[in-house]
A = this chain, B = another copy of it.
Amino acid sequence: MEQNFQNILQQNQLKVTATRLSVLELIASRNAATSQPYLEKNINKEIDRVTLYRTLRTFEEKGILHKVIDLNGTANYAMCSDNCTAGHHHDEHFHFNCTQCHQLYCMNDFHFPPFQMPAGFKSQSINLLISGTCAQCNKMDN
């Protein structure tokens, strides 16, 4: 995982601003995808809601973050792996949505087995969302 946020921004022709660094920092610090509401509450800086929307959209367009829709239809964002580039994200996104703590984990190590598409259908990207209870929550309710 690339941790030099300044570089990430510069490589994408984006100006380095405190807002953008804060957003990247917070998202990268979590092992789960992060929703707009969570960011809005937990960011260590006063950021206008509109700016946050725009920042996230920009990052997604540039391929810095990828967007995952969770079970409630809410957009969550996570750092893209390095092979994501602007306009062309990694094709397979696997996530785990905990029904108790609502954390959305990225399962990058998961590999999807080959399968056959129905005739005439062309697959561009695969989005797998498994829901259940995460290791943390299972530990707590012994």
Interface residues of A (CB under 8 A from B): 69-75, 96, 99, 107, 109-110, 113, 115, 117-136, 138-139
Contact = CB atoms under 8 A, between A and B. Distances in A.
A130 B139 contact: no
Contact of A69 (B71, B120, B122, B138): B71
Given A107-B118, A113-B115, A133 B124 contact: yes
- How many copies of the polypeptide does the oligomer hold? 2
B139 A132 contact: no
Nearest to A110: B115
A127 B129 contact: yes
A31 to B, nearest CB: 12
Contacts of A128: 126-129
B115 A133 contact: no
Given A110-B115, A127-B131, 11 more contacts: A69-B69, A117-B130, A118-B135, A120-B134, A120-B139, A122-B133, A122-B138, A124-B131, A124-B133, A127-B129, A128-B128
